[in-house]
Structure 1
Amino acid sequence: MYSIIGLTGGIASGKSTASAYIAEKGYPVLDADKFAKQATAKGGPSYNGIIDAFGEKILTEDKEIDRKKLGAIIFNDPQQRNVLNELVHPEVRRMMNEERDRLVEENHVFLDIPLLFENGLDDQCDITLTIYVDESIQKARLMDRNGLTEAEAESRIGSQMPLSSKRDRSDFVLDNSGTRENLYAQIEEFLTKIEK
């Protein structure tokens, strides 16, 4: 019997690093963000609805959705963000579920979902796994990585569920406050557990 493992974290927590390492170890990792890009790409299942809702002003010259322009609209407006989520999330879920159901026949499947708990998707997982980092480290990494001011970094971190809440709701927690090697060692330990 193979497990469905919900993998989550926060901005600059190291979730993508963990995801990439798990995939390298031969486990399927389904990335919600990649499915969201497919859903919102020209010709994707959410594309027309997004243009109807937000207008053609969000398009690039080649009629793709300009993620920066759309992001600027939804980032500070929860109502607009909900409109977008209602157009995109059901499609992402449908596409991910199809892949998951196919792959879980042969292996453990990791679902890389930033909003795992926020969207109640932890219910669909056998195991939940959070990549945790202390908020001060998270802020420093985000400022460094994205060239943000402290206020900008705090605003982005503040727009997400606190990592401490995700940590407290998770079955397993990997602490990424140390080195990359340390994170990899914790992943190895986790993979050994699920293989038993």
Structure 2
Amino acid sequence: MTFKLGLTGSIGMGKSTTAKMFADLGCAVWDADAAVHRMYSKDGAAVAPMGGAFPDAIVDGEVSRGVLKEIISQDANALKTIESIVHPLVAQDRNDFLAETKAEIAVLDIPLLFENGAEAMFDAVACVSVSPDIQRQRVLARGTMSEAQFESILSKQMPIADKIAKSDYVIETDTLEHAQQQVRSVIEDIKQGLKNA
């Protein structure tokens, strides 16, 4: 029986780095963003249905995220259509991963876990967190988005305090060492609970 741990947090809080720490310590890790990336690539599961809905979004046999952004900015209903195509495919990918994994603990990295009401499918949820100042510095240091885009993404995400309140574990990602200690503690706690179950 695999223990299902949901991993979430807001943009720039160190979720991907934390997911890698879980993987390095022997957990099986599934990443929602990576799943979408695979589906948008050549021969990916989303290419044909997306091409049916938005022919312009297919460039060189792949779904172009850049073109999708343009379409979403011009058409208020586009995002709903995209989600109606992608969400079932992502859910299928996640279920396939869970069916195949033999790991004691499976960590599912889902940015909008609470926003999508997915918490009920997990045995526990861990939320990564860091101060708003560090979060802003990290995101803007990537050089991939403007301050306005960052604010726009934040406005669509549930406030981190609410995510923390709903989570079973909180992992503070102020330093790598501190985050690693907490990841180890979470794994030990889960394993202890499995032993006592």
- Which SS does the other structure have where 1:146 is aligned? coil
Q: Aligned match of 2:70 in 65, 69, 72?
A: 72
- Asked if the contact 2:10/2:160 (under 8 Å) is kept, the reply is yes
- The verdict on how the C-alpha distance between 1:152 and 1:35 changes in structure 2, with shifts beyond 3 A counting, is closer
Question: Runs of 5+ in structure 2 lacking a partner?
Answer: 193-197
Aligned counterpart for 2:170 among listed residues 157, 173, 182: 173
Report the 3-state secondary structure (helix = DSSP H, G, I; strand = E; otherwise coil) of the residue aligned with 2:142: helix
Asked if 2 retains the 8 angstrom alpha-carbon contact of 1:139 and 1:154, the reply is no
CA deviations over 1:109-149 (Å, ceiling 9, x no partner): 11111111112221110001111122232122111123544
- Closer, same or farther: CA 68–94 of 1 in aligned 2, 3 Å: same
Percent identity, please: 33
Report the AA paired with residue 179 of structure 1. Answer: T
| Counterpart-to-counterpart distance in 2, 1:167 and 1:67 | 30
Deviates more, 1:69-78 or 1:18-27: 69-78
Give the CA deviation at 1:67: 1.4
> Could you tell me how far apart the structure 1 residues matched to 2:30 and 2:76 are?
26
Decide whether the 8 Å contact of 1:40 with 1:88 is kept in 2. no
Please list the CA deviations of residues 20-74 of structure 1 after superposition, one character each: whole Å capped at 9, or x if unmatched: 111111110011112212223333222222112222x2232x2211112213333
Q: In the aligned structure 2, how far is the partner of 1:30 from the partner of 1:190?
A: 17
Q: Which amino acid aligns with 1:99?
A: F
AA paired with 2:97? Answer: E
Answer yes or no: is 1:191 the counterpart of 2:187.
Answer: yes
Amino acid corresponding to residue 93 of structure 1 in structure 2: A
Residue 164 (structure 1) aligned to one of 161, 166, 173 = 161
Change beyond 3 A, Cα 1:77–1:27: farther
Q: Please give the TM-score of this superposition, normalised by the length of structure 1.
A: 0.88
- The match for 1:108 is 105
| Whole-angstrom CA distance in 2 between matches of 1:154 and 1:175 | 22
Q: Which runs of 5+ in 1 are unaligned?
A: none
Partner Cα distance (2:87, 2:145) in 1: 28
Task: Tell me the number of residue pairs that the alignment of Structure 1 and Structure 2 aligns.
Answer: 192
